[in-house]
Amino acid sequence: MSRARTFPHSVRYFAAQVLALLASLVLAGAAAATTVQPPPSEERYGDTNIAAALYADGAPQAGREWMLALRFTPSAPEWHGYWSNPGDAGQGMRVVLDLPPGWELGEARYPVPKRLVISGLMNHIYEGPYTVLLPVRVPAGADVSAAARVTGHVEFLACTDKICVPQDALLEARQGGDLARWRAEVAPLLDARAAFAIAGKTLRVAVPLPASVTLSDPHLFVANDRLVAYAAPQMFRRAGDVLVAEIQLDQYGTGKAEALSGILSFGDGAGVAFSADPGTVPSGGEVVAGPKAAPVPPLWTLILGALAGGLLLNIMPCVFPILSLKAMTLARAGESEGHARAEGLAYTAGVVIACLALGALLLALRAAGEQVGWAFQLQQPGVVVALLVLAAAITANFAGLFELPAISVNMGSERTGAFATGLLAAFVATPCTGPFMAAALGAALLLPVPQALLLFAFLGLGLALPFLLLGFVPPLRRMLPKPGAWMERFRRLMAIPMALTALALLWLTVQLGGRPFGLIALVLVAGVLLGLFVTGKLQRGGKMAWPAFGLVAAPFLAFALIALPNVYEAKGGQAKESILAAQPFSTEALAAARASGKPVFLYFTADWCVTCKVNEATSIERESTRAAFEEAGVVTLVGDWTVRDEAITQFLTEQGAAGVPLYLWYAPGVSAPEQLPQVLTPEALADKASAGR
């Protein structure tokens, strides 16, 4: 909206009209010699689609605010106008008033707009008649009796769902109109100022609002142009008498704002206008609206879910790579009651601390605006390379190449070894989510930090519970084999699954960074193993061993640190080969698939998720599934979360999931998807497709 100008705009407008009239008279003679042209369509200019009229609230008074009302009246129900920020398309009004010198036109005050989404684009509109209030500040000492009649000009856009027509109108303030009702229709301005913060790619706004205010369908209309993604889902949480809104930033915008203003809609046409300054925005709070904003289950049920989920991780396929470590701990737990209890507590402490650390880091990254989820650590190539080296070292230790007190069967402190085993077990075992824990981890991303960390702690307790019970329940320990020479043979046998784990991590390294990246990582592993071989020979000779390891491995480590970043090229997130002809996931692809009227199967996977790969081998990539899908016309979409993908992370969060696998079935004509079990039976998908025919 433009303010009053020194040279009256209506005079310029009148002059332009005179010039246009003269030009038309000149052209009329030339046109008469040829053909007569029809007059311009009245729908192109003027106020025929939406009429605009200016009303004054009484006479102006010196030193006081004088309120004008700009009333818009559509000629038919299909026409709509726009808020000051029209959204993804449209145009806000532009008004100029010819005011006496010293009089100032203030910021326009609007009613609460509505949302109109067409083809994924959101517009902020007004349907039916609506009024915009225009406050005028009259200076003290102004001679209001000598003030001329206020005139002006307004330009705006009138649209239907199919066409848009530019509109303009000359204005002349007149008395009349229902000013009292129009004032009540405008969103009132909050007395207290709101606060906002931009964290990563998310705008967070804290609006002071009593907890007693009912929010049927809240939405935050941001006046700042191109700051937020207008059509993106908005999350709302209550923290006492503060309402916190979280909105995704516009990926093409600057992502910066020195101040913020807008309108908070409660739903049903009610709302408040607000202004916000940069400041502290509370974290956590009760979710009151937003994607998957169903009521969060009671905390005690989430705790039980986390505990049961952690316990079931002990039998999930994704835990198989560390079964050798657990087997060693089980075997050593039979030595004595004191040792068993000490190791049970140490192992539990290691698991719980690792889960708490991963959970705290996850929450911190999300609070900073990063779109990350559970198992985010395995989306980082550097972390996978470190795990590869560690798995190779453990394999060498189990094979007897060298002795490492922290994880050795025969040497070192039992408590230290059990604690280290617990740390590693939790770090490697928790990427995949299983039954029960999926709901708990999804809720942990929405709960206040203390409650979220409590869930992560109980997840670790569930994972460690079998070993904790072994330490404190003697009948369970008596079921274990007695310690003896067999333990050394068992340790060497366990080198086989650990070697397979290392090979799997090497494959994942190639998937994440490409073949050259994997080759450099393999050179690093070879250097570490060479250093461990030298260390083992010195250990067996009773000599100081570990300095030699540093001398041998250091050149390989230095080479890898320099070469790995230079050869890295992201390979994850690409379309996977599938007999189901699966298309890569995107919100646009999902919308198009659902619009086809066919059943849609959407699944999310990752190369580091063993559960995902087992399900794909046993249930998804099957000829029976392909045949059933073809017969039912099922459209298949796949989201590859091997590397970080913010769109996938956001979608998982909207579905209340913290990680993969996630399997969704969209039946035709049904708005909400059905979430399938995370462990699929071989014929589960084929039966699902057949049942939908």
What φ, ψ does residue 644 adopt, rounded to 5°?
-60, 130
Is residue 21's pLDDT more than 70?
no
CB 688 within 8 A of CB 665: yes
Q: How far apart are CA 642 and CA 574, in angstroms?
A: 9
The model's pTM is 0.57
Report how far Cα 222 is from the mean position of its chain's Cα atoms. Answer: 19
**Which tokens go with 189?**
């301005």
Cα torsion through 168, 174, 175, 178, rounded to 10: 0
Is it true that domain 583-691 has CATH number 3.40.30.10? yes
| Domain at 194-289: CATH architecture | Sandwich (2.60)
Q: What is the mean pLDDT of residues 544-555?
A: 88
Q: How far apart are CA 52 and CA 277, in angstroms?
A: 34
The DSSP annotation for 515-551 comes to HHHHHHHHHHHHHHHHHHHHHHHHHHTTS--HHHHHH
| Domains 9-185 and 583-691 belong to one CATH topology | no
Taking only the tens place, the pLDDT of each residue in 67-83 is 999 999 999 999 999 99
**CATH code of domain 9-185:** 2.60.40.1250
H/E segment holding residue 556: helix 546-567
Residue 3: the pLDDT is 37
Angle between helices 414-429 and 381-398 in degrees, nearest 10 = 140
483 Cβ contact list (under 8 Å, min separation 6): 331, 332, 334, 335
Taking only the tens place, the pLDDT of each residue in 321-344 is 555 555 555 555 555 677 778 888
Which of 2-16, 364-378, 634-648 is most confident?
634-648
What φ, ψ does residue 196 adopt, rounded to 5°?
-140, 155
C-beta atoms surrounding 322 within 10 Å? 21
65-74 and 121-127 as β-strands: parallel, antiparallel, unpaired?
A: unpaired
The DSSP annotation for 324-370 comes to HHHHHHHHHTTS-HHHHHHHHHHHHHHHHHHHHHHHHHHHHHHHTT-
H/E segment holding residue 208: strand 202-208
Q: How far apart are CA 284 and CA 600, in angstroms?
A: 34
Report the amino acid identity of residue 689.
A
Q: How far apart are CA 105 and CA 109, in angstroms?
A: 12
Residue 27: the pLDDT is 32
Which of 67, 272, 110 has the alpha carbon at shortest distance from 189? 272
Residue 478: the pLDDT is 75
Taking only the tens place, the pLDDT of each residue in 387-397 is 899 889 888 88
pLDDT band at 18 (very low <50, low <70, confident <90, very high): very low
CB 240 within 8 A of CB 250: no
Q: Higher pLDDT residue, 472 or 481?
A: 472
pLDDT band at 448 (very low <50, low <70, confident <90, very high): confident
Domain ranges in the chain? 9-185, 194-289, 299-514, 583-691
Cα torsion through 415, 417, 421, 424, rounded to 10: 110
Q: DSSP class of residue 45? A: S
